[in-house]
Amino acid sequence: DDLTAFIYAMPKAEMHVHLEGTLEPEMKFRFARRNGVTLPYQTVEEMRDSYNFHDLQSFLKIFYEGKTVLLKEQDFYELTYAYLTKAASQNVLYTEMFFDPQMHTDRGIAFSTVMNGLTRAQADARKNLKIDSQLVLCFERELTAESAMKTLESALPYRQHIVGIGLDSDEKNNPPDKFRDVFARARKEGFHLTMHCDLNQFDTHEHIRQVLEDIQADRIDHGGNILERPDLVAIAKRRGTAFTVCPVACGWLRENGENINIIRGMLDRGLKVTVASDDPAYMKGDYVAESLIVAQGDANLSKQDLLTLARNSFEASWISAAQRKTYL
């Protein structure tokens, strides 16, 4: 309908997508075949049927199985180029893409193999598809702070290709403060900072507080439980913290027996919220436009709300003021 067409056509930016989460089943089979990797599925349908998870931990188990087919620079290139092609087709003008190097270096793949594939795809997409992009390196938070620091140091030679540092994976017993020194170093090296505070995780309010007050990150990925804490909302508003919310992954909060839509709640409180897709290949194949359509239906968003979300996505981005002006 009219709003759907409006959503696809609206110029937008995406601030929360995991490149490894854009590995579509067909591509996973193709890479497996050419790399001689055996998958525990015979068909695309069987693979899709296996994508039934009910919480962060069960999602991560399925998500980490996918990485085994990513081996060569060309795999990382094609993965990234396919995502950028899809994003450009939805009028995404600019995107900041998460990648988790530890998922690959821990299997013996060189950091340079990953970086060369990603950055070559970015350059080709910039030229051929008119979509600009930057990379955000995420640490896996169940690994040690020492491993994160080593990863940060191996990223320093590539700093012109990496705009920020993030934190993802299993939050249980892995609070942001575990990485306080690593993030302090990252900030000193000039990186922007963002951190996942996924919905209803262990100690979630304390995790959000640490991101806001101890780490003082620029953004929070998800962060929906902040709506339960007016004191934390006040801090985020004062600091101008942005929130990248993924309605296909987790769009609703349950409060006093009532379902609160997170995007509606953040808009109503004047928080800088943006909508993104998270891991589209594992989440029904919904990319950012489909995520906005879901949000529109769930939160009854008006055209004005949709334009606010699009504007927020550019305002939350880590591009220069001059480049931002060309989009707004």
Feature table: binding site for substrate: 279
Number of residues that bind ligand ADE (CB under 6 A): 10
Tell which positions 180-209 bind ligand ADE, by CB under 6 A.
196, 198
Residue, CB closest to ligand ADE? 168
Cα four-point dihedral sign 8, 10, 14, 15: negative
Tell which positions 129-148 bind Zn ion, by CB under 5 A.
none
The binding site for Zn(2+) comprises: 16, 18, 196, 278
Question: How far lies 26's CA from each of 41, 42, 285, in Å?
Answer: 12, 12, 12
169 binds, among Zn ion, ligand ADE, none (CB under 5 to 8 A by kind): ligand ADE
Number of residues that bind Zn ion (CB under 5 A): 1
In the bound state with Zn ion, the residue whose beta carbon lies nearer, of 74 and 200, is: 200
Give the C-alpha separation, 215 to 255, whole Å.
28
Q: Does 14 bind ligand ADE (CB under 6 A)?
A: no
Question: How far lies 169's CA from each of 57, 152, 177, 196, 310, in Å?
Answer: 8, 17, 15, 8, 27
Give the C-alpha separation, 19 to 179, whole Å.
23
Phi, psi values for residue 192, rounded to 5°: -75, 160
Give the C-alpha separation, 29 to 31, whole Å.
6
Question: How far lies 296's CA from each of 12, 79, 256, in Å?
Answer: 15, 28, 24
In the bound state with Zn ion, the residue whose beta carbon lies nearer, of 29 and 63, is: 63
Q: Does 169 bind ligand ADE (CB under 6 A)?
A: yes
Tell which positions 267-286 bind Zn ion, by CB under 5 A.
278
Tell which positions 49-108 bind ligand ADE, by CB under 6 A.
63
For the chain, the first-to-last Cα distance in angstroms comes to 26
In the complex, what is the shortest distance from the CB of residue 21 to ligand ADE, in angstroms, rounded to a whole number? 5
| Contact map string, positions 261 to 280, toward ligand ADE, x by CB under 6 A | -----------------xx-
In the bound state with Zn ion, the residue whose beta carbon lies nearer, of 20 and 278, is: 278
Q: Does 18 bind ligand ADE (CB under 6 A)?
A: yes
From candidates 7, 13, 21, 247, binder to ligand ADE by CB under 6 A: 21
Phi, psi values for residue 247, rounded to 5°: -65, -20
Residue, CB closest to Zn ion? 278
In the DSSP assignment, the letter for residue 91 is T
Give the C-alpha separation, 190 to 183, whole Å.
11
251 binds, among Zn ion, ligand ADE, none (CB under 5 to 8 A by kind): none
Task: Say which residue the tokens 């995790």 belong to.
Answer: 207
In the complex, what is the shortest distance from the CB of residue 278 to Zn ion, in angstroms, rounded to a whole number? 5
Tell which positions 102-161 bind ligand ADE, by CB under 6 A.
none
Do 133 and 125 touch, CB atoms closer than 8 A?
yes
* Bridge pairing between strands 258-261 and 252-255: antiparallel
In the bound state with Zn ion, the residue whose beta carbon lies nearer, of 71 and 148, is: 148
For residue 143, the SS3 value is: coil
Residues interacting with Zn ion, by CB under 5 A? Answer: 278
Q: Site residues (CB under 6 A) for ligand ADE?
A: 18, 21, 63, 168-169, 196, 198, 249, 278-279
